[in-house]
Amino acid sequence: MIIAIPKETAERENRVALIPDTISKLVENSHDVWVESDAGKASSYLDEAYQSAGAEIITDRAKLFADSDILISIQTPPEEDLNKMKSGSILICFLWALQNENTVSFLQEKNITALGMDAVPRISRAQSMDALSSMSSIAGYKSALIAANELDRYMPMMMTAAGTVAPAKVLVLGAGVAGLQAIATAKRLGAKVEAFDIRAAVKEQVESLGATFVEVPDLDEESETESGYAKELAEDEQERQRQVIHEHAKKSDIIITTALIPGKPAPLLVTKEMVEDMHAGAVIVDLAAEQGGNCEVTEPGETAIKDDVKVIGPLNIPSQLAYHASQLYSKNMLSLLNHLIQDDKAEFDFEDEITLNTTITHQGEIISPMLKNN
């Protein structure tokens, strides 16, 4: 079986799907691994390292797509590349099936089995395969560094001969994987941190990191999906939430927003009025920019000055730490491959929760319950 790794072509994408250490393990298990020339260069993994790990370097991209049995990437490859894949072959990548119905239909018609790394269920058995959590952790860490770099003040309390400087006040909205890592990083930098999440269950995690949990009274107790994501609130609850956030935003030097709802635009958490009431020089880092943003005035991919506040809408943050992001994604991928491949053949047991939820298309059919129930 030939496992192939193409060079990523999407804008701002510096990661690679498999690193040499992971490939050596696949080669030990008698798999043939093809890597497109310079696929890992942008993340500091060079062709020589892949060759030493036992991979074959391929310069013909069309051949790599046409002859591979399993093709592994970060982003979904362009349709012109997917069109070269043979019937019955397997594609594994971040597919975002709910937002890319045309791509799903194309893969279905081409009889390509497609697995979405964004669809791995959040259950204990699948933790080692959970690429979303791996990438979210990187994004949360980096968001705090971006904010600190853009802020025109110290993050920690500083005691100097000229007097004592108070620590920066950071408000993190959303305490999932990204939010918790943002909290931890901001605390390590010495900031005073508050965090808000509609899921009261995360209060203990927030406080264990040394942050203060911001509570909104009378929110629906059923605020979390079975997959562990926050549910969309009713309109009256959203309004109460915004009122509480508004009061805390006024006092904040930095706001980091991380809230996402799978398959839907990011929820609005920071309104124009909140930005207007923040002090000059404050910073907002909107990690939901790719899904429309949690801040009303975010411009995806840009740093904008709005009412003397810096509003940053970064795109593909994990790619900014491409070396470690690739390392983590590669380990997630190896765990998924070990789960799927039995006796040198990919086995699709749809009685298994991981396989069922991760598989989007197979043998010309839609498999994913997420798509079927949408």
Based on the residue annotation, tell me whether 229 is a catalytic residue of this protein. yes
Give strand ranges (E) for 245-362.
Answer: 254-257, 283-286, 303-306, 309-312, 341-342, 345-346, 359-362
How far is Cα 22 from Cα 348, in angstroms, rounded to an integer?
22
Among the listed residues 44, 127, 227, 342, the single catalytic one is 127
Neighbours of 218 (CB within 10 A): 8
Among the listed residues 128, 223, 229, 320, the single catalytic one is 229
CA angle 132, 320, 329 (to 5 degrees): 35
Q: Tell me the two tokens of residue 45.
A: 């993994």
Among the listed residues 43, 133, 326, 327, the single catalytic one is 133
Among the listed residues 81, 118, 130, 197, the single catalytic one is 130
Among the listed residues 38, 47, 67, 122, the single catalytic one is 122
Burial group, residue 229, by CB count within 10 angstroms (0-12, 13-18, 19+): middle
Based on the residue annotation, tell me whether 130 is a catalytic residue of this protein. yes
Based on the residue annotation, tell me whether 242 is a catalytic residue of this protein. no
Q: How far apart are the first and last CA of the chain?
A: 34
Burial group, residue 15, by CB count within 10 angstroms (0-12, 13-18, 19+): buried
Which sequence positions are flagged as catalytic? 122, 127, 130, 133, 229
